[in-house]
């Protein structure tokens, strides 16, 4: 095989490797490493941390802004909660805890009384609690609404859920919605690198200068990485090039599908029912208990009187307070399991995913671009420059091999 034929095969193949490697490394650097790796503190810039994790607060704020534009806020969330429907969801779980709740209430009035009560009396007390479940839950929702409106901070919740120790969740979000685009870009790098390798063949055959190979390799890496980032987002609309070849930015072309995936992840991992409950408890737990206690005392007054008389005690305020405290403690213990069981039906009732998906899919493409584009902007020059460095390094290896076999 002649030397020229060897070069004709070798340079395009290595060019493809350069293109693939540069894209693969650049995309990995967007999300890895999750924690700072380098010499000294991050302020020295002698190391690297995934772009998404390093700028998580900014990107999380961007996600929060996007959600706000879709209309998902505290007002819409509370308006979608139907007290009657929520009561229907909670009733079976609370009724299943009826015996434990009734026992806790009576033991708070008079310790040891439960075991001494005849079974018919126990059943009567438990039976009276069942019909009260739905109206009590509905009353709780009504009474808690003003407090929830004050305590829930949707924007703050999103930023908290996607930054700090939760920055890896943000990385997963971006990787999930952009996975196809990122994979296409990697393989596109190999194709463009192969074509640039053919140009290397022509340049080397014409001038036979070894230094052309690292130079063209650097150009390959620079152009390849810059063009790859552009093709993710541009053009926003389907455009014909040379009047024949149609193309649309990979991200805007999948707006509907990306909207669905973006909405699904946010509604399950960021602002789902469990996340909202934890958020409310963290921001207003004591006030939440105070309002709930007042509601229970009001709604369960007749039953508390009956329970006190059944236990042979006067229904004094002190007795009622002990009963409410015991019932609240019992409910607190069972709350995690109940919240877990209700997560899916509550998520459907809130309709966060549907609202987000519809709004994102209908969003102007230039505005929709911001969902992912911010990841690339500030560090784009680093990713492009890295392509040039890697391309030059691999081109130098190419040159050494070509000279050695020449």
Domain range summary for the chain, segments of one domain joined by +: 3-62+167-257+378-405, 74-162+268-361
Containing 279, the helix (H) or strand (E) segment is helix 273-299
Tens of pLDDT, residue by residue over 323-351, are: 788 878 877 888 888 888 888 888 888 88
pTM of the full predicted structure? Answer: 0.75
Q: What sign does the dihedral 21-26-29-31 (CA atoms) show?
A: negative
Instruction: Give start and end residues of each alpha helix (H) in 300-369.
Output: 301-310, 317-350, 352-361, 365-368
Residue whose entry in the numeric block shows the structure tokens 């609240």: 328
Q: Which of 163, 156, 133 shows the shortest CA–CA distance to 284?
A: 156
Query: Left if phi > 0, otherwise alpha if psi is -120 to 50, otherwise beta: which for 32?
Result: beta
Whether residue 50 contacts residue 30, with contact meaning beta carbons closer than 8 Å, is answered with yes
Query: Are the beta carbons of 86 and 93 closer than 8 angstroms?
Result: no
**Predicted local confidence at residue 1, as pLDDT:** 45
SS3 string, 128-179, reads HHHHHHHHHHHHHHHHHHHHHHHHCCHHHHHHHHHCHHHHHHHHHHHHHHHH
Which segments in the chain show pLDDT lower than 50?
A: 1
Nearest to 79 by CA among 310, 357, 352: 352
Q: Are strands 239-241 and 47-48 parallel, antiparallel or unpaired?
A: unpaired
Q: Rounded to an integer, what distance in angstroms lies between the CA atom of residue 133 and that of residue 333?
A: 18
- Answer yes or no: are the C-beta atoms of 355 and 69 closer than 8 Å: no
Neighbours of 89 (CB within 10 A): 17
Q: Are 266 and 352 in contact (CB under 8 A)?
A: yes
* Angle ∠(324,329,335) on CA atoms, nearest 5: 120
Rounded CA gap, 62 and 158, in Å? 10
- Put residue 360 in one of left, alpha, beta given phi > 0 → left and psi -120 to 50 → alpha: alpha
Q: Are 200 and 402 in contact (CB under 8 A)?
A: no
DSSP state of 320: H
Q: CA 270 to CA 59: how far, in whole Å?
A: 14
Which pLDDT does position 82 carry in this prediction? 78
Q: Which helix (H) or strand (E) holds 246?
A: strand 245-247
CB 295 within 8 A of CB 143: yes
- H/E stretch holding 48: strand 47-48
Question: In terms of Cα–Cα distance, which of 48, 27, 29 is closest to 37?
Answer: 48
Token digits of residue 89: 């969801």
Number of Cβ within 10 Å of residue 40's Cβ equals: 10
pLDDT of residue 223: 78
């Amino acid at each position: 095989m002649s030397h020229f034929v060897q070069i004709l095969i070798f340079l395009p193949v290595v060019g493809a490797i350069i293109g693939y490697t540069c894209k693969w490394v650049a995309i990995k650097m967007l999300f890895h490493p999750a924690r700072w790796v380098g010499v000294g503190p991050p302020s020295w810039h002698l190391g690297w941390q995934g772009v998404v994790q390093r700028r998580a607060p900014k990107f999380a704020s961007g996600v929060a802004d996007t959600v706000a534009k879709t209309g998902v806020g505290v007002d819409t969330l509370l308006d979608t909660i139907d007290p009657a429907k929520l009561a229907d969801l909670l009733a079976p779980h609370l009724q299943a805890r009826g015996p434990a709740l009734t026992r806790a209430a009576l033991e708070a009035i008079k310790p040891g009384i439960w075991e001494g009560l005849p079974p018919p009396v126990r059943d009567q007390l438990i039976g009276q609690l069942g019909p009260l479940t739905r109206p009590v839950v509905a009353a709780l929702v009504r009474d808690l609404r003003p407090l929830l409106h004050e305590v829930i901070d949707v924007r703050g919740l999103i930023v908290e859920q996607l930054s700090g120790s939760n920055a890896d969740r943000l990385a997963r979000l971006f990787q999930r919605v952009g996975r196809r685009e990122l994979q296409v870009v990697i393989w596109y790098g190999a194709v463009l690198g192969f074509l640039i390798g053919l140009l290397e063949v022509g340049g080397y055959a014409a001038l036979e200068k070894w230094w052309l190979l690292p130079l063209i390799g650097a150009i390959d890496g620079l152009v390849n990485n810059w063009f790859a980032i552009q093709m993710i987002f541009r053009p926003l609309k389907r455009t014909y090039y040379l009047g024949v070849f149609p193309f649309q930015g990979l991200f805007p072309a999948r707006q509907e599908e990306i909207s669905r995936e973006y909405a699904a992840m946010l509604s399950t991992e960021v602002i789902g029912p469990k996340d909202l409950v934890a958020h409310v408890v963290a921001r207003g737990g004591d006030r939440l208990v105070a309002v709930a206690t007042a509601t229970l005392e009001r709604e369960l007054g007749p039953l508390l009187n009956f329970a006190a008389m059944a236990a042979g005690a006067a229904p004094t305020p002190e007795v009622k307070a002990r009963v409410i405290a015991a019932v609240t403690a019992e409910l607190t213990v069972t709350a995690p399991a109940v919240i877990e069981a209700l997560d899916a039906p509550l998520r459907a009732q809130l309709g966060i995913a549907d609202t987000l998906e519809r709004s994102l899919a209908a969003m102007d493409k230039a505005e929709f671009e911001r969902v992912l584009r911010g990841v690339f902007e500030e560090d784009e020059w680093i990713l492009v420059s890295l392509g040039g460095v890697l391309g030059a390094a691999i081109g130098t290896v190419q040159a050494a091999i070509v000279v050695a076999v020449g």
